[in-house]
Structure 1
Amino acid sequence: MAVSLQKGQKVDLTKGNPGLTKIMVGLGWDTNKYDGGHDFDLDAAAFLTDENGRVTSDLDFVFYNNLQHPSGSVVHQGDNLTGEGEGDDEQILVDLSLVPQNISKIAFTVTIHDADVRGQNFGQVSNAFIRVVNEATGIELIRYDLGEDFSIETAVVVGELYRHGGEWKFNAIGSGFQGGLAALCRNFGVNV
């Protein structure tokens, strides 16, 4: 049974799951009814950072235009342009055994593509979640449902994996940003 987290809660990932190396991080959402005339295109991304929360290179930013980290440790499964259907809207595969030693955190984010142009924000998004699944067994280990109502934000840091004492843990972040993907990139040290 998956551990269901609240905002700010941290939980061990590998300590309680010996031998776990390959996980799938699924992110999903629904959009509320609105008459703005544009579809919603939400995008999941991962930022691989050092202990200071900064990328060491722009290649540490894995998203729809850079689907794989050079180490092979983080692989984005592709852009879902509509978010239609049930379950995960986008998935990111992580092989913890391949994460370079200089990387201490992997932050998972969701942004609204062209939010400013389309007049969209996370106040129009519901049922957003992140889940961590054991890739080998398909068993959901962790789930965090973002119950918060983000009214004006166009980007959210949903959660992060981080190293702690030789093990990996998960932190339910749920922190909103204005300024979309560019604001997130600046926050994590990616050149925009």
Structure 2
Amino acid sequence: MAINLQKGQRISLEKANGSKLQNICVGINWGAIEKKGFLGFGKSVEAVDLDASCAMYSESKQLTDVVYFGNLGSKDGAVKHSGDDLTGDMGGDDGLDNEVITLDFSRLNPAISYVAFVLNSFRGQDFGTIPFASIRIYEGTSKRVNEVFAKYDIAHGSNFAGHVSMVMGVFYKKNGEWKFNAIGEPTRDKKLEETVNTVTQNYL
């Protein structure tokens, strides 16, 4: 059964049978912007480039690695990015994730205590102007969904309008156990580097 988290909720990653979750995915699905033509005649489609990224930190909150469209894998091989999607769904919602980041806890460098996921609109297109944009954080693989932990609808959430970046959530290690904080907060940042700095200052 899916655990649909509300913003700010925290959960343990231990399953009912006592086993620990190993493979986590963060998937983002979004659409291109439809624009009406001159005097309402015809329409055009404007590509939307959203970028999912993952930042890893040590226990002392030192940034150790960032996986994003320019660096598709972490140094330890635990985090992998599916690659940069520059357009979104141009022909309506196909129901598939445009970008997926996978995290394998069994391969994660033991010195890492925080794994944060963020989203940025590369061309500065406001989340509120995108026809649909949903995020899901789930157990499984890039091809299979076992259990969804958190879902966010950023195209229709009023607090996302006017923003081009957000913090999706943070996995953190406490007493040797991994837990998840569903943050779902827009930030005032414009670029990935600024968003990572916001995570460091406010969300670890």
AA at the equivalent of 1:180 = K
Tell me if the contact between 1:128 and 1:145 (Cα under 8 Å) persists in the aligned partners: yes
| Pairwise CA distance, 1:62 | 0.1
Once the two structures are superposed, what CA deviation does each residue of 1:53-101 show, in whole Å capped at 9, x if it has no partner?
Answer: 4413xxx110011000010011111111222132322111111011112
2:185 is aligned, of 162, 165, 175, to 175
- 1:34 to 1:73, Cα distance in 2 relative to 1, 3 A: same
- 1:96 to 1:183, Cα distance in 2 relative to 1, 3 A: same
- 1:32 to 1:81, Cα distance in 2 relative to 1, 3 A: closer
Residues in 1 aligned to 2:186 and 2:61: alpha-carbon distance in whole angstroms = 16
Residues in 2 aligned to 1:173 and 1:109: alpha-carbon distance in whole angstroms = 10
| Pairwise CA distance, 1:144 | 2.0
Residue equivalent to 1:63: 68
Percent of pairs identical after alignment? 32
**Structure (1 or 2) with the larger CA radius of gyration:** 2
Residues in 2 aligned to 1:52 and 1:174: alpha-carbon distance in whole angstroms = 23
| Pairwise CA distance, 1:176 | 1.4
Residue equivalent to 1:11: 11
1:99 maps onto 2:105 in alignment: no
| Pairwise CA distance, 1:177 | 1.9
AA at the equivalent of 2:74 = H
Residues in 2 aligned to 1:107 and 1:173: alpha-carbon distance in whole angstroms = 10
Residue pairs, 1:21-170, within 5 angstroms: 21-30=22-31, 33-34=34-35, 38-51=46-59, 53-56=61-64, 60-84=65-89, 85-115=94-124, 120-125=125-130, 126-135=132-141, 138-146=145-153, 148-149=157-158, 150-170=160-180
Tell me if the contact between 1:5 and 1:145 (Cα under 8 Å) persists in the aligned partners: no
Judge which range, 14-23 or 154-163, deviates more.
14-23
Once the two structures are superposed, what CA deviation does each residue of 1:136-174 show, in whole Å capped at 9, x if it has no partner?
Answer: 974124132246321221111111211122222111111
Tell me if the contact between 1:130 and 1:159 (Cα under 8 Å) persists in the aligned partners: no
**What is the Cα-based RMSD across aligned positions, in Å?**
2.5
Tell me if the contact between 1:15 and 1:167 (Cα under 8 Å) persists in the aligned partners: no
- 1:38 to 1:13, Cα distance in 2 relative to 1, 3 A: same
Structure 1 unpaired stretches of 5+:
none
| Pairwise CA distance, 1:188 | 5.1
| Pairwise CA distance, 1:38 | 3.9
- Structure with the bigger RCO (C-alpha within 8 Å, sep 6+) is 1
Structure 2 unpaired stretches of 5+:
37-43
- 1:105 to 1:34, Cα distance in 2 relative to 1, 3 A: farther
Tell me if the contact between 2:24 and 2:137 (Cα under 8 Å) persists in the aligned partners: no
- 1:139 to 1:161, Cα distance in 2 relative to 1, 3 A: same
- How many residue pairs end up in the alignment? 182
Q: What TM-score do the two structures reach when normalised by structure 1?
A: 0.81
Residue 104 of structure 1 aligns to a residue in which SS? strand
